[in-house]
Structures are given as C-alpha cells and as structure tokens.
Amino acid sequence: MIFNDLLSSVGNTPVIKIKNIAPANINLYVKAEYFNPGGSVKDRLALNIVNEAEKNGDLQPNQTVIEATSGNTGIGLAMVCASKGYPCIITMPDSASMERRKLMRFLGAKVLLTPGPEGATAAYDLAKKLADKNDWFYARQFENSANADIHEQTTAIEILDDFKNIGLDYWVSGYGTGGTFSGVSRVLRKHSPKTKLIISEPENAQLINSMKMQNRNSDGSPSESHESWNPHPIQGWTPDFIPLVLQESIDNDYFDENIPVSGDDGIYWSNQLASKEGIITGISGGSTFSVAMKIANQAPDASNILCMLADTAERYLSSPLFNDIDSEMNEDEKEILSSI
C-alpha cells in the first residue's frame, strides 16, 4: 500500500487473536494501536486536533503547538507538527520514561519537564501559562472534543467492521484523556448494544470509583489534583484529574464495569504478551490485557473479547517494565557459549 504522506497511514490498526495464553474456550483479541506510525493510539487524536484547528482557524501557519502529556500524545503531536511544519513544545512530568523525551526531541519538539510528584496538573498548568503568554496553540487534549470525535469516526468504525460477522461481547480499555473510551463507547452503545464496555484505572488511583467529582475551571480544565490520585507506574493512564473528555462516559453510563488493576499486574501481562505471543506493548497495554484476562476467565464459553493495546514496549526500556531484562548475557546464555 502506498501513502502520499506519513499522516495518511494513521489508523486502520490490526486486531490480533491471542492464541497461546487466552483461556481455551474464549476468543480473546487485541487491537494493536502501536501499528500507528508514531507507535501509539494517540497519533489519532494528535492528527485530528491539528486538522480541526487548521479548519477552524485556531492554528495559523508557523504557529507553535504546545501540549501537556505523559508522552504518547507528545510523540504524536511532534510527529504531526514535523510533517506539517509547526514548531512543537511539550510539557511533561519528569517521571515519564526517558525514551519518550528522546523520541519527542528526535522529532524536533522541545520538552519542558515538571516534577513527577505534582502529577499531570503541573505540566498542564505550565503549558497553559506558556500558551497564554506567547499566543501559542494549546492542543488541550483533555478537553478538546476532537479527541473523542476521531475515535468515534475511526477506531469505533474499525471495531464494528472487524466484528460485524461474529459479534463482540466485551470491549476493554483503560483511560488517559478518555478520548478512546468516550469516542468508541458512543458508537458501541448505539450499534452494538450487547457489547459490555469495561473500563479500568490503577488500583491506587481510582478516580472514577471514588465517586468524587473533579473540580474544574470554567473552561473545563482541572482546578486541582483529584484527592484519590496517587503516583502509579501505568504511564499514559489516569492523570491526577478526571479529564472533561472522559466525563461524557461517566455522565452517560457508557461503561458497564470499572475494574481496577495494579501496575505489577500490568507489567506481568506485558511480559507474558511479549514472551508467549510475540506482542510488544507497554505497561498500559499489559494493564488493559490483565483486565481482559479477568473477564476471559469468567465469561461464557465462546465469548469474543477485544482489548485495546495503546502503545509499544520500546518506549519503556528505562521503566520498571524492563527491570528484569538484562542487557548483558545472563548465566544461561553464557552456558550456551561455553558449550561450544
């Protein structure tokens, strides 16, 4: 397939059946969003936010694009800006992986770091301050309707098309901005009402399950950190506030169940996917898959379950995901050499 430019290759990611570690009586699938050109699901929203801003006149030629992110949206925006010719500045917590910072800078963006313990709110506030001061375009992924809209227009349609002949019993996703969940849920609720929609969040940062509403400014932005948030290792998931984009799913009961997951379980299942299936996904993907496995182990026979894998493991090399992966030869490898 020939594309006229890189951005035309965003979307249409594959659905892959799990064949080795799924329960024998269950059809478990993953949607591998790391097949997007920037390596994550956030390529979709990055492209749509910029495209819509161009159409609306909110983004002018050569204007700087700025955004707060834990990494994947920043990589997506840096990629889109490089392709379209916009300067790009990213603010992000310094707890995000080193690979993410380097990828954004590799793509030509400038990266400004905020203290990790202060959560996403600190990066958000810094981006807003710089945007206001310099008249830069602030992407505002957490409030921007173009975020969920692109998943309604593309991701959800891809899922419906892939499962139109066999049906989909469960759809499982975590949330970062909430765009994937809200956008896809709009469509599945309407066109696949029998599908159970399962959302997940870190067990030590249960913002939805706390039943505590998020305090917001008049523009929908967070006014402070949510009291139920704690730092967690699932990068890209659950900032320290409930995004306005996600609030749609909460207000409209778009999810049937919220199943929390631990970072340790996410790391375990990411490793299992890699070593048993050859699927390389990050901690968020492993966490979503952990929840999908819980569903699979209690679902009726022959159920069809789809799990979202947001990104690739390669941007977690410096994170706890790779703590037990050696860069030097281990004893087993040395023994193979010594046997020659």
What is the tally of structural domains in the chain? 2
Q: Are residues 246 and 303 in the same domain?
A: yes
- Kindly report, residue by residue over 102-128, the tens digit of the pLDDT: 999 999 999 999 998 888 889 999 999
* Beta-bridge partner residues of 124: none
Q: Percent of the chain at pLDDT above 70?
A: 99
258, pLDDT greater than 90 = yes
For residues 245 and 275, state if they share a domain: yes
Weakest mean pLDDT among 66-75, 179-188, 222-231: 222-231
93 and 192 share a domain? no
User: Is 294 assigned a catalytic role?
Assistant: no
Q: How confident is the prediction for the chain on average, in pLDDT?
A: 94
At 158, list the tokens: 């891809």
Residue in the structure block whose two tokens are 């979202």: 308
pLDDT at 212: 66
Q: What is the DSSP string of 90-119?
A: EEEETTS-HHHHHHHHHTT-EEEEE-GGGH
Whether residue 93 sits in one domain with residue 22: no
The DSSP 8-state label assigned to residue 8 in this structure reads G
CATH number of 54's domain: 3.40.50.1100
- On whether both 317 and 197 belong to a single domain, the answer is yes
What pLDDT band is residue 7 in, cutting at 50, 70 and 90?
very high
Burial class (CB in 10 A: 0-12, 13-18, 19+), 328: exposed
Query: Closest Cα partner for 11 from 121, 127, 152?
Result: 152
In a domain, 187, yes or no: yes
CB–CB of 67/91 below 8 Å? Answer: yes
Q: Which two tokens stand for residue 154?
A: 């593309």
Q: Residue 84 falls within a domain, yes or no? A: yes
pLDDT at 335: 93
| CA–CA dist 120, 95 (Å, integer) | 10
Shared domain check, 121 and 154:
no
Structure-block tokens of residue 110:
């400038």
Task: Report the SS3 class of residue 19.
Answer: coil
pLDDT of residue 235: 87
CB burial class (10 A; 0-12, 13-18, 19+) of residue 193? exposed
Asked whether the beta carbons of 237 and 201 are under 8 A apart, the reply is yes
Residue 328 domain flag: no
Domain range for residue 111?
A: 42-138
Whether residue 71 is predicted with pLDDT greater than 90 in this model: the reply is no
d(CA 154, CA 198): 20
Same domain, 158 and 304: yes
- Cβ atoms of 34 and 40 within 8 Å: the answer is yes
pLDDT at 211 over 70: no
Closest CA to 34 of 299, 246, 198, 274: 274
10 shares its domain with 90: no
Task: State mean pLDDT over 148-161.
Answer: 98
Tell how far CA 208 is from the center of its chain. Answer: 17
pLDDT at site 227: 83
215: Cβ contacts below 8 Å, ≥ 6 apart = 222, 223, 224
The pTM for the full model equals: 0.93
Q: Is 102 a catalytic residue?
A: no
Answer for the pair 241, 222: CB distance below 8 angstroms, yes or no.
Answer: yes
Q: Which is the catalytic residue, given 40, 200, 249, 284?
A: 284
- Report which residue type is found at 96: A
Catalytic residue among 31, 40, 42, 270: 42
Specify if 335 maps to a domain. no
Statement to judge: residues 97 and 77 lie in one domain? yes
Average pLDDT of the segment spanning 233-245: 89
- What lies within 8 Å, CB to CB, of 292 at 6+ separation is 28, 30, 170, 172, 198, 305, 307
Whether 25 and 48 map to the same domain: the answer is no
